[in-house]
Structure 1
Amino acid sequence: MSLSIALTKGRLEKKTVAMLEECGYGIENLKDKGRALVFEDTKKDIRYFLVKSNDCLTYVEHGVADLGVVGKDTILEGGKEYYEMLDLEIGKCKFIVASLPDIDLLNKVGHIKIGTKYPNVAKAYFNAKGMDVEIIKIDGSVELSPILGLCDGIVDIMETGTTLKENGLVVLDDVCPISARVIVNKASFKLKRQEVMDVLKDLERMVKQNAAAHQ
């Protein structure tokens, strides 16, 4: 029974493809892809397609993809109509709260404004602290919003922290770690259980191998 796997384009795509190659999958077409977005595995009965992160959730939820590889950041912000099955431990970064150094944001009394691309994550964080927060959704460079006075601070993803430093912002708190996860369509997990589990076991073996190599 054939499987369809949705891969998030970009940074995660390259790392996921490398893992699949190490597992012995036939991903030659994915490595030399040109402008194509749909690829057949040359060794197994698997079809891959490349999508944006939010669309990965949508394709898996609607059963167009049996499995998907997507960042935990997208999962936290999106819906939940799928099973989150495996942490691939690639694409590691974290959600942080940051602001200008002269704003004691986390001890500020009263109403605060937070700029973010991730309103659900930001809202959950500040609500858990019992703070009165207004979330302002920003799609572009979030770092600009405190500098220009739109917001008191931001919730964003940080990998190295270079962009924050260059814009004079300081990290006030870590919200949660992020990495790539494998999600599975609920119906596929019942109807194609063996095929799905075979892929998960192969990837889990690579996660363990990579972890052992870095010890």
Structure 2
Amino acid sequence: MTTQLRVALPKDNLETVVPLLEKAGIPVPPHILNTRAYLLSSQAMEWIIVKQIDIPMLVERGAADLGITGKHILWEQPKDLVELLDLGTDRVDLFLFGESGMLSRPDLTIATKYPRITLRYFQDKGKHVRTIPAILDSLAASDAVVAEEQDYASSSGRTIVDTIAASTDRLIANRGSYCLKQRAIDDFCSCLLRAI
């Protein structure tokens, strides 16, 4: 790969992503897991280390050619991107917590960090719900909660009613970069495909 590529990596998931890149033979800086730097270089690559939630915006706006982020982030923040690969790493399951039989009740209020995903789930079931932000004060006032299992204590008395979404990491590309740097991006994808 001779064309310079800039890749945004999730700092909260480097321990999973970096070994995959290394297995694919993609050169990453040797100290990438132990640095506090946000911009690193290795051979014909630049690496931006940021929060996973910021990666779609950085890629869409052209600050990065490629990025790795969770599909749940892409569902929640629709952007004009090219989704290249499902990497199969960092699986996130979003659960609906509540009381059994709650789905038959009208006019539910759901506390969630994922309002788009939650609304789509209930629309697919033909139900109208109201979503509120999942902050501590709103949890008690809600009929149900959508969260990752590790984020929500089962001590609340609520049980898992359903799994509303399952997500894994995706390799995404900026549309302009994909046209201008297609060969380098295709080479990057080919390397990753051999490692998946």
Q: Same-fold call, TM > 0.5?
A: yes
Structure 2 residue 71 is matched with structure 1 residue 72: yes
- Describe the SS at the equivalent of 2:32: helix
Whether contact under 8 Å (2:39, 2:49) holds in the other structure is yes
Residue 132 (structure 1) aligned to one of 95, 111, 128? 128
Structure-1 residue corresponding to 2:14: 13
Whether contact under 8 Å (2:14, 2:33) holds in the other structure is no
Residue 168 (structure 2) aligned to one of 168, 179, 184? 179
Residue 199 (structure 1) aligned to one of 183, 188, 196? 188
Unaligned runs of 5+ in 2: none
The residue type paired with residue 32 of structure 1 is N
> How many residues in Structure 1 have an aligned counterpart in Structure 2?
193
Post-superposition shift, 1:183? Answer: 0.4
Structure-2 residue corresponding to 1:155: 146
Structure-1 residue corresponding to 2:117: 121
Structure-1 residue corresponding to 2:87: 88
Superposition TM-score, scaled by structure 1 size? 0.83
Post-superposition shift, 1:18? Answer: 1.1
Post-superposition shift, 1:145? Answer: 4.4
The residue type paired with residue 170 of structure 2 is R
1:85 and 1:121, CA in 2 relative to 1: closer, same or farther beyond 3 A? same
Structure 2 residue 4 is matched with structure 1 residue 2: yes
Deviations 1:166-188 (A, max 9, x none): 33321111112111110011111
RMSD: 1.8
Post-superposition shift, 1:23? Answer: 2.2
Structure-2 residue corresponding to 1:213: none
Post-superposition shift, 1:81? Answer: 0.5
